[in-house]
Amino acid sequence: MCGIVGYLGNSVAQDALIDGLRRLEYRGYDSAGAAFHDGNAFSLARETGRVENLASTLRESNPTSTLGIAHTRWATHGAVTVSNTHPHLSHDGKIALVHNGVIENYGPLKRILEGKGIEFSSETDSEVLSNLIAYHYARLEGEEEQFAQALREALSQCRGAYGIAVLCVDEPGFLLGARRGSPLVVGLGDGETFLASDASAFVGRVRDAVYLKDGEIALLREDGFRIITMQGEDAQAVSQPIDQTVEDVEMGDFDSFMEKEIFEQPVALENTLRGRFGDDGTTAKLGGLEGHEDELRRLNRIVFVACGTARHSCMVGEYLIERLARVPVEVEHASEFRYRNSPKAGHTLVIAVSQSGETLDTLEAVREARTKGLLTIGITNGVGSSLARETDGGVYQRVGAEIGVASTKAFTSQVALCAMLGLALGRMRELSPIQGREIAEALQNLPENVASILQRGETLRELAHKYSEAEHLLFLGRQDLYPVALEGALKLKEISYAHAEGYPAAELKHGPIALINPECPSIFLVEEGELGAKTIANMQEVKARSGPVLAIVPEGVEVPDGAADDVFRVPAVHEVVRPIVATIPLQLFAYHFARIRSLDVDKPRNLAKSVTVE
Ligand code: G6P
């Protein structure tokens, strides 16, 4: 949700800023802008649309400044216009600011500033902050550390969430940043220092980073940096090596990040699972849960909180954990949980799942759970993320940067970790060593099974082509394949803009069947055994009403003649990994379906990857 980059160093800032913005474009791509310190004024370039538009403007003006800030926007307050595009300058031209987040009390603050004769040129909440900093800067004239003090004073008046980078015309050697609620990281290079929403912005130029904590301010100077608190006291700055590589954040030979990330899944799953099985091969060993064994043995309820695709992984987790560990599981939308007064029943474990570890609603749900004294565990791909820091324990997904807005490898890894958690909790309860070993082996064979589906990607491209004119599609499955159906429908609608809905297969008759006609295909996920036979019966109900049917079916399961128009076979696997195996064809189907429509799958309309506002 908006990406920010700041650069202070001995090279031309525009290259570093544009490279950084390109890498952060997954956070928003409504408009982009940059401000450069030009000695006694700022030069500003702002364009609506993609970062490329800004890049071509900068190629013409070619600023040579070595100090600048830049922003790629996902609009919250104010339409997508040049005047609402960041950076925002203060009325007196002294302060330039880029902001990710929302200043909730910007209305009253704006009125106070207007009362002092300050005029605004945008509809954004962010411009209020640049003017507020300028106001305090003028007021504190002559004081020590005038710029940092003005920033602290301004922030103390703001409610809401922010990650900001700020420049002051009168302070040519300074770049300031601050965070509350939105991520901000300092990149420490050789003769150059960065500020960014995410370390991917400077991977390849910088080896070490300092992840700011909420309530911290970074003061970057040409000759070093300091981290202070909002009260002005020195804070500890722990630098750590960046865990991403240039290959992680670049597309390579693929057509899009989404395609790259779909095809990375065998390796990604291997990384998620590596070293996480007990020595006797019958259980899962999740380091981040160590020290909580007594609580895990005692717990009698699990509540998952998450948003979007991550929530679908939790819904699969509900089936898996209840089956393996016999612990009751509930899955909540994080945005609902945080405002609900849910009863604090028994020994409840709250598990928050978030690829980025920065989704605001998920973080607030964790904070609410902790206020209620509940044990919280995070499953996240975001190393050093807010979720990783704010939970009592956690497990990293280890799948590398996921840049495509539509989540793919993060989803399958989250489901794999739910299965691992189910295995670990199950072995603490009634699951036998033999059952445990079968599950561990099924998980270890998963990368190979996934790879075998990816090899048949061309068949899925042909199927997507066949159905690509449909504007309404249904995705249907039972049990753990029901959330997979939801995920298949979400993937398709978010990148192709076709309308798709996921339903439990048997629920078809309670409404969605009314949509069935020759233009509305149904995609069925079929399991083995008795339930699979019932799903096939549902397929026949659709066929009887002239609805086209594409069925994803395990090897060995017989599909009667006439029950489906197309059958795509997946390997017959243990039921614990079945949802992951069934997901892969749906990802490729959605990907090709959107590409056939010539859509940009990495930057779908109106979406952003990391939602750091409510
Ligand atoms: C956004 C993204 C989704 C993602 C969701 C949760 O909606 O577009 O792809 O699943 O946020 O993100 P998280 O980082 O918490 O997993």
145-160: per-residue pLDDT in tens? Answer: 999 999 999 999 999 9
CATH of domain 251-444: 3.40.50.10490
- pLDDT for the residue numbered 76: 83
- pLDDT for the residue numbered 340: 87
Closest CA to 88 of 57, 125, 63: 125
Of the chain, the percentage scoring pLDDT greater than 70 comes to 100
Cα 370 off chain centre by: 22
Q: Indicate the angle between helix axes 481-496 and 578-596, nearest 10 degrees.
A: 20
Exposed e or buried b per residue across 422-458, where buried means at least 16 C-beta atoms within 10 angstroms of its C-beta: bbbbbbbeebeeebbeebbebbbebbebbeebbeebe
Q: What is the DSSP code string of 79-98?
A: -S-TTTSSPEE-TTS-EEEE
Which bin fits 489, alpha (ψ -120 to 50), beta or left (φ > 0)? alpha
Fold match, 251-444 / 455-602: yes
Cα(398) to centroid(ligand 1), Å: 17
Q: Average of pLDDT values for 564-592? A: 98
Question: Cβ(410)–Cβ(310) under 8 Å?
Answer: yes
Alpha carbons 495 and 487: distance in angstroms, whole number: 12
| Predicted confidence (pLDDT) at residue 417 exceeds the cutoff of 80 | yes
- pLDDT for the residue numbered 256: 95
Cα(5) to centroid(ligand 1), Å: 21
Alpha carbons 269 and 267: distance in angstroms, whole number: 5
- pLDDT for the residue numbered 77: 83
Ligand 1 atom closest to residue 307's alpha carbon, by position in its atom list: 6
- Tell me, yes or no, if 2 is annotated catalytic: yes
Q: Which residues line ligand 1 (CB under 6 A)?
A: 307-310, 354-356, 359, 362, 405-407, 607, 609-611
Nearest 5°: the CA angle 369, 372, 374 is: 60
- pLDDT for the residue numbered 181: 85
Which bin fits 398, alpha (ψ -120 to 50), beta or left (φ > 0)? left
| Predicted confidence (pLDDT) at residue 223 exceeds the cutoff of 90 | no
DSSP state of 70: E
- pLDDT for the residue numbered 589: 98
| Predicted confidence (pLDDT) at residue 314 exceeds the cutoff of 80 | yes
| Predicted confidence (pLDDT) at residue 327 exceeds the cutoff of 80 | yes
- Tell me, yes or no, if 116 is annotated catalytic: no
Alpha carbons 469 and 597: distance in angstroms, whole number: 9
Q: What is the DSSP code string of 180-241?
A: EBS--EEEEESSEEEEESSGGGGBTTEEEEEEPPTTEEEEEETTEEEEEETTS-B----EEE
| Predicted confidence (pLDDT) at residue 260 exceeds the cutoff of 90 | yes
Of 110, 409, 491, 609, the catalytic one is 609
- pLDDT for the residue numbered 192: 95
3-state secondary structure (DSSP) of residue 101: strand
Give the C-alpha distances (Å, rounded to integers) separating 578 from 79, 215, 479, 575: 44, 44, 11, 5
- pLDDT for the residue numbered 258: 97
- pLDDT for the residue numbered 329: 97
More confident residue, 425 or 29: 425
- pLDDT for the residue numbered 566: 98
In CATH terms, the fold of domain 3-248 is: Glutamine Phosphoribosylpyrophosphate, subunit 1, domain 1 (3.60.20)
| Predicted confidence (pLDDT) at residue 345 exceeds the cutoff of 80 | no
- pLDDT for the residue numbered 188: 95
- In the β-sheet with 239-241, what is the strand arrangement from edge to edge? 42-48, 31-37, 67-73, 3-9, 192-196, 185-189, 206-211, 239-241
Residue nearest atom 8 of ligand 1, based on CA coordinates? 609
Tokens of 339: 């405002």
- pLDDT for the residue numbered 90: 97
- In the β-sheet with 549-554, what is the strand arrangement from edge to edge? 499-504, 472-477, 522-525, 549-554, 566-570
- pLDDT for the residue numbered 148: 97
55-112: per-residue pLDDT in tens? Answer: 999 999 999 999 999 999 998 888 999 999 999 999 999 999 999 999 999 999 999 9
Q: Where do the domains of the chain lie?
A: 3-248, 251-444, 455-602
| CATH classification for the domain delimited by 455-602, as one of 3.30.1360.40, 3.30.9.10, 3.40.50.10490, 3.30.70.890 | 3.40.50.10490
Handedness of CA 18, 22, 27, 31 (dihedral sign): positive
| Predicted confidence (pLDDT) at residue 613 exceeds the cutoff of 80 | no
- pLDDT for the residue numbered 232: 94
Q: Quickly tell me which residue has 């550390």 as its tokens.
A: 145
| Predicted confidence (pLDDT) at residue 344 exceeds the cutoff of 80 | no
Residue nearest atom 2 of ligand 1, based on CA coordinates? 609
- pLDDT for the residue numbered 249: 87
pLDDT confidence band for 527 (50 / 70 / 90): very high
| Predicted confidence (pLDDT) at residue 312 exceeds the cutoff of 90 | yes
